[in-house]
C-alpha cells in the first residue's frame, strides 16, 4: 500500500489555521453583527472541515464516507460561504438575499446528489481523496458553476475593491488596497490547486489551501488593522 508523503500532512496545519481564523471572524461578527462576517466565519469553518477530512484520510486511510464528505465540504462548501460574505458586503441586502435564495438551494441539491451517488471502488486511493470515486460523474459537472460563483464574487470582489482603494490614493485606502489584493490572491490559490487535483495532483490542492488561507488571513488583518472594514471604495 502506498504510504502518504510529507505534503499529505499539510492539511493538519491548514485545519489548525482555519480553526483559529474562524474564531477570530466569529468574535468579530458577534461584536459587529454584520452578515458578511457571519458568512465569512462559516466559509472558513467549512474550509477547515474540508482540510480536516483530508487530514483524516492521511492519518487513518481513505474510505467512501470520508471522500464524499471531503468533496461536499471542500469542493462545494469551501468557497461558497466566503463568496456569500462578499455578496452581502458589496451588494444591497435585498440583492444579496435574492442571490442566496437562488444559489443556496442549488448548492444543497448538488451536495445531496454527491452523498447519494454510487461509487467506483476501483478509483478509491488509500491516502488521497478524489471525486473520481463518484459513479454519477455528471454530478461533478455542477461543481464549476459553484466555483465560478465563488471566483466572481470572492476573488473578483476583492480585486475590484483593491483597485478602487488603490486609485483613491489615501493612506488608509492604500492599506485596504493591499489587504484586498492579498485576499484575492489567497482565494485564487485553492482554485488553482483544485484544478490540478482534478488532474490527479491532489498535493497541489493541499499546498494551495495552506498558502491561500495564510494570504486570506493576512489580507483580512491588513484591512482591519486600523479598525477598517473590508468594504468597497466609493
pLDDT in tens, 48-91: 999 999 999 999 999 999 999 999 998 899 889 999 999 998 89
Listed by start position, the domains of the chain span: 6-224
- DSSP per-residue codes, the chain: -PPP-GGGGHHHHHHHHHHHHHHHHHHHHHHH--HHHHHHHHHHHHHHHHHHHHHHHHHH---HHHHHHHIIIIIITTTHHHHHHHHHHHS-HHHHHHHHHHHHHHHHHHHHHHHH--B-GGG--SS---GGGBS-GGGGGGHHHHHHHHIIIIIHHHHHHHHHHHHH--HHHHHHHHHHHHHHHHHHHHHHHHHHHHTT-HHHHHHHHHHHHHHHHHHHHHHHTTS-------
Quick one: fold of 6-224?
Answer: Rhopdopsin 7-helix transmembrane proteins (1.20.1070)
- pLDDT beyond 60 at 233: no
pLDDT in tens, 161-183: 888 888 887 766 788 899 999 99
pLDDT in tens, 116-166: 999 999 999 888 898 899 999 999 999 889 989 999 999 998 998 888 888
pTM to 2 decimal places: 0.89
Amino acid at each position: 500500500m502506498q504510504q502518504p508523503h510529507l505534503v499529505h500532512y499539510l492539511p493538519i496545519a491548514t485545519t489548525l489555521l482555519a480553526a483559529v481564523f474562524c474564531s477570530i471572524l466569529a468574535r468579530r461578527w458577534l461584536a459587529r453583527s454584520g452578515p458578511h462576517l457571519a458568512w465569512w466565519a462559516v466559509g472558513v469553518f467549512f474550509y477547515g472541515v474540508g482540510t480536516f477530512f483530508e487530514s483524516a484520510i492521511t492519518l487513518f486511510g481513505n474510505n467512501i464516507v470520508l471522500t464524499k464528505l471531503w468533496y461536499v465540504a471542500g469542493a462545494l462548501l469551501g468557497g461558497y460561504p466566503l463568496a456569500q460574505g462578499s455578496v452581502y458586503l458589496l451588494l444591497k441586502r435585498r440583492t444579496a438575499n435574492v442571490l442566496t435564495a437562488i444559489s443556496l438551494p442549488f448548492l444543497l441539491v448538488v451536495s445531496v446528489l454527491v452523498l447519494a451517488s454510487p461509487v467506483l471502488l476501483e478509483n478509491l486511493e488509500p491516502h488521497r481523496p478524489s471525486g473520481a470515486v463518484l459513479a454519477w460523474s455528471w454530478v461533478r459537472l455542477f461543481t464549476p458553476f459553484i466555483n465560478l460563483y465563488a471566483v466572481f464574487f470572492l476573488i473578483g470582489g476583492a480585486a475590484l475593491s483593491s483597485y478602487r482603494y488603490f486609485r483613491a490614493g489615501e493612506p488608509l485606502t492604500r492599506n485596504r488596497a493591499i489587504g484586498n489584493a492579498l485576499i484575492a490572491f489567497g482565494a485564487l490559490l485553492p482554485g488553482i490547486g483544485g484544478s490540478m487535483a482534478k488532474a490527479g495532483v491532489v498535493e497541489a490542492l493541499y499546498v494551495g489551501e495552506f498558502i491561500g488561507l495564510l494570504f486570506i488571513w493576512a489580507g483580512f488583518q491588513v484591512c482591519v488593522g486600523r479598525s477598517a472594514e473590508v468594504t468597497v471604495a466609493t
